[in-house]
C-alpha cells in the first residue's frame, strides 16, 4: 500500500499528520511531508484514518 499527497489540493490543514505520525509530518513551515510513501500493514489503519480527516481529499491510498 502506498500513500501520496496531491500537492495541488493540499492546503496544509495538518489534520492528517496526527492520525499517521509515522507516515506524515508537518515541516517547520507547516507544509505536509510524506515520511514514507510505503505503508506497512500495521500502519494501514492509521493511513486510512489520515485520508478520512482531510477535508479536501488531498491524500490517496493505493494498493
Partner 1 sequence: MTEDIRDVVIVGGSIAAVTAADALRQHGHEGSITIVSDEPYTPYVRPPLSKGMLKGTETEESVFMAPPRPDIDFRVKTRAVGLDLERRRVLLDGGEELPYDGLVVASGARARRLGPPEAGELVVRDLDDALRLRAAFAGAGSLVVVGGGFLGMEIASTARGLGLDVTVVDRDPPLVRQFGGFLAEHMTRAAVDEGVRLVRSPGAVELVGGNPVTAVRTADGLLLEADVVVSAVGDLPNVEWLAGSGLGGPEGLLVDDRCRVAPGVVAAGDVVTRVSERTGRPRRSPHWGSAIDQARAAAQALLKGDEAPVYRPAPYYWTEQWGLDIKICGRILPGAIPEVLSGSLDERTALVRWTHDGVPVAAATVNHRMPVVKLRRLATAS
Applying CB under 8 A, the residues found at the interface with partner 1 are 11-15, 18-19, 26, 29-32, 45-46, 48-49, 51-53, 55, 57, 61
Nearer to partner 1 (CB atom), residue 24 or residue 32: 32
The whole-angstrom separation of Cα 58 and Cα 4 is: 8
Nearer to partner 1 (CB atom), residue 34 or residue 61: 61
CB 24 within 8 Å of CB 34: yes
Cβ of 3: how many Cβ atoms within 10 Å?
25
Minimum gap (Å) between residue 2 Cβ and partner 1? 15
Amino acid at each position: 500500500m502506498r500513500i501520496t499527497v496531491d500537492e495541488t489540493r493540499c492546503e496544509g490543514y495538518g489534520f492528517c499528520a496526527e492520525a499517521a505520525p509515522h507516515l506524515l509530518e508537518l515541516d517547520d513551515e507547516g507544509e505536509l511531508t510524506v515520511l514514507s510513501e510505503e505503508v506497512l500493514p500495521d500502519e494501514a489503519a492509521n493511513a486510512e484514518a489520515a485520508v478520512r480527516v482531510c477535508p479536501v481529499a488531498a491524500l490517496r491510498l493505493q494498493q
